[in-house]
Amino acid sequence: MKYGFIIDNRKCIGCHACTTACKSEHDVAVGVNRTYVKQIEKGEFPDTRRIFSVMRCNHCTDAPCVEICPVEALYTREDGIVDFDNNRCIGCKSCMQACPYDALYIDPDNNTAAKCNYCSHRIEVGREPACVTVCPEHAIIAGDMENPTTEISQLLARQAVKVRKPEKGTNPNLFYIDGDDASLVPEATDKSGPSLWNSQARGVGHFAKSAEKMMHTNGDVDLLQMTIDNDIQAAYQKKETENPNYIDVLTGKARRVYDTPDKGILWGWEVSTYVFTKAIAAGAFLIPFLAIMLGYEVSTTAKLWSAGISLTFLALTGLFLVMDLDRPDRFLNVLLRPQWNSWLVKGGYTITVFGLLVTVWGAMSFFNIKQGETILLWVTAIFAILLAIYTAFLFAQAKGRDFWQSPTLPLHMLVHSVMAGTAIFVITSLIFGNESWMSILKNTMIIALVVNLFTLVTELTITHPTTAAKTVVKMITKGRYKNLFWMITVLIGNLIPLALMFFGTGELVLVASAICVLIGILITEKIWVEAPQRIPLA
C-alpha cells in the first residue's frame, strides 16, 4: 500500500479551496500553509496564461526530512504517508533545510515543525484528505497507488505526469498532470515583493513570535526589516519597479503572481556562530595533539589551556545549538530520542563524547596521570575531527540546499578547525607564555590558509550541477555578499594573514594574523550558512 497524490492541472481552477479546507481541518495558523496554490503567469498579451500549481508535501519515498530529523518527529508510515509528531519535535528546522519542496513550516502555536500529513487522521477512519473532499473540480486525486483499481493508479498508468525536482532523488509521490516547469521549477520565476493580491509586511512561522513582539511598537514601521532578513525584504526595500518579476512581465518571461509569505532565513547567526565556536573547540585540541604527535613537548599548562579552551567553546557550541531550537526545552530529545541517521544526532553524540574525553584528558593532565594518554589522545583526536567536520555531513543531508552539497565541505570545515586552533593558541599564548612547540603554529597556519584558499576556490569555481548552487556562488562573489566575501573572507581572512606571515616577523604579526583568521572564519561561515537559504525552494 502506498498513498500518493495527483494534481490534475487540466481541472484545477486556482480557487484556493484546498488551502482553506486544509487550514480548517488542521487549524493552521495565519501566515503558514500546509498546501497552497502557487500562481504564475507567462507569455505576452494576448498569448498569456495563468498557471495554478498546488504545492505541498510530496510524501517522498526517500524523504530527506525523515532522514535528517534528529528525533523521529518526522517518519514514513507503512502506507507511504510522511507523518509527523509535534510532541517529539525540537524545532531545529533541519527538515526545512532538507526538504527540497519547502513543504514544512514552524507552527507558531507550539513552535514545532508541521506540514501536510495527508490527513492521516482521516485516512485512519477511511476518509480522504480534506483538500480532496473540498476540491470543486476533483483536481486533487488521492489514493493507493499500488492498488490497480484506484483512480490514482489508473491515471498514473494513462497520463503523462511530472514531479518536482526529480534530480533530488527523493522519489516524490505527488504527480502533476499537465504540470508546467515554469511553475514547478522555483528558479523559473523570481521571488519578488508584493504579489498581485497579497503582500507581506511581517514575519511568519518561525518569525511570527518576533513579529508579535513588535506589534505595539509602531504599526507603520516596516517590521519586515527586523524580522526577516532575506530577498523578499530586499524586494520591498527596492522599489517594486526594480523587482525582477516586473522586468519579467515586460519580456513575457514567466513571473509569480501569487505566492505564500516568505518564511525567512531559518538558520541564522546562531548556526553560523556555532560552526565557528565548534571549529575552535576542535582546533584547540587538535593543534597541541599535532604538536605531541610531531614529538614536541607540550607543557601541562598548555594541555590544561587546550582542554579549557576546547570545553569552553564546546559549551558555547552547545549553547548556540540550543538557542537555535524553537523548542529549546526539548534539546535533550536529540540524545534521548535519537534517530541515528541524522547527523544532528551523530553530531550531538560527537559533542558529548568529545567533551567527556577532553574532560578526562584535562583531569589526567591536572593530576599528571600519564598512563594511557596516547590512546586517549588518538581517540579524542578522532572525535575532534568528527566534531570539526560533522556539520558538513549535516549540511549535505539538507538536500534542499544545493550549495551545501559540495564534496569539499568536510575539508573546508576541518581546515577551518585547524586555522581556528592555531589562531586561538597564538592569542592565548600571550597569556600563558610561549612554548617551544608553538613554532609549528605559524607554518601550520600558512599551510592551512593555503589549503583553505584551495577549498574556497574549489567550492566556488567547480562547475555546479544546479542553477540554485550557481546562483549562490553568484550571490557570494558578485551579489549581496560580495563585499563581505572579498573584503573579509578573502582579504582579511586569508590574504592579509598570509602576506603578514610571509613578509612580517614577530609575535605581533602572528597575533594580528590570528585575529584576522578568526574574523575570516566567522564571516565565511555566516555567508556559507546564510546564502544558500536565500534560494526559494518552491
Beta carbon nearer to other proteins, 18 or 476:
18
Nearest Cα neighbor of 318 from 341, 335, 296 is 335
Q: How far is the CB of 195 from other proteins (least distance, A)?
A: 9
Beta carbon nearer to other proteins, 26 or 474:
26
Which residue from 62, 121, 505, 508 is in contact with other proteins, where contact means CB under 8 A?
121
Beta carbon nearer to other proteins, 137 or 297:
137
E strands present in 207-358: 255-258
Nearest Cα neighbor of 183 from 160, 204, 165 is 165
Contact 182, 42 (CB under 8 A): yes
Beta carbon nearer to other proteins, 15 or 512:
15
DSSP, collapsed to helix, strand or coil, labels residue 144 as strand
Spatial CB neighbours of 372, under 8 Å, sequence gap ≥ 6: none
Q: Which of residues 165-204 bind other proteins (CB under 8 A)?
A: 193-194, 196-204
Q: How far is the CB of 74 from other proteins (least distance, A)?
A: 9
Give the number of residues in contact with other proteins, rule: CB under 8 A: 101
Spatial CB neighbours of 29, under 8 Å, sequence gap ≥ 6: 107, 108, 109, 205, 208
Beta carbon nearer to other proteins, 209 or 474:
209
Q: How far is the CB of 43 from other proteins (least distance, A)?
A: 6
Q: How far is the CB of 204 from other proteins (least distance, A)?
A: 5
Cell of 493: 581572512
Q: How far is the CB of 340 from other proteins (least distance, A)?
A: 8
What is the rounded CA–CA span in Å between residue 54 and residue 61? Answer: 19
Q: Which of residues 122-161 bind other proteins (CB under 8 A)?
A: 122, 124-128, 130, 132-138, 141-144, 147, 149-151
Which residue from 49, 62, 457, 478 is in contact with other proteins, where contact means CB under 8 A?
49
Beta carbon nearer to other proteins, 31 or 100:
31
Q: Which of residues 258-277 bind other proteins (CB under 8 A)?
A: 258, 261
Beta bridge partners of 141: 6
Q: Which of residues 4-43 bind other proteins (CB under 8 A)?
A: 10-11, 13-17, 19-21, 23-27, 29-31, 41, 43
- Helix pair 409-432, 373-397: axis angle to 10 deg: 130
Which residue from 5, 6, 52, 314 is in contact with other proteins, where contact means CB under 8 A?
52
Q: Which of residues 216-245 bind other proteins (CB under 8 A)?
A: 219-220, 239-241, 243, 245
Nearest Cα neighbor of 338 from 351, 347, 326 is 347
Q: How far is the CB of 31 from other proteins (least distance, A)?
A: 5
Q: How far is the CB of 117 from other proteins (least distance, A)?
A: 7
Q: Which of residues 73-112 bind other proteins (CB under 8 A)?
A: 75, 77-79, 83-85, 87-88, 108-109
Beta carbon nearer to other proteins, 94 or 455:
94
Whose grid coordinates read 490497480? Answer: 148
User: What is the Cβ-side half-sphere exposure of residue 255, based on CA atoms within 13 angstroms?
Assistant: 20
What is the rounded CA–CA span in Å between residue 109 and residue 29? Answer: 7
The answer to whether residue 249 forms part of the interface with other proteins (CB under 8 A) is yes
Q: Which helix (H) or strand (E) holds 372?
A: none
Q: How far is the CB of 466 from other proteins (least distance, A)?
A: 29
Cell of 418: 585547524
* β pairing state of 35-44 and 255-258: antiparallel
Q: Which of residues 337-396 bind other proteins (CB under 8 A)?
A: 337-338
Q: How far is the CB of 71 from other proteins (least distance, A)?
A: 9
Beta bridge partners of 82: 76
- In DSSP notation, 274-288 reads HHHHHHHHHHHHHHH
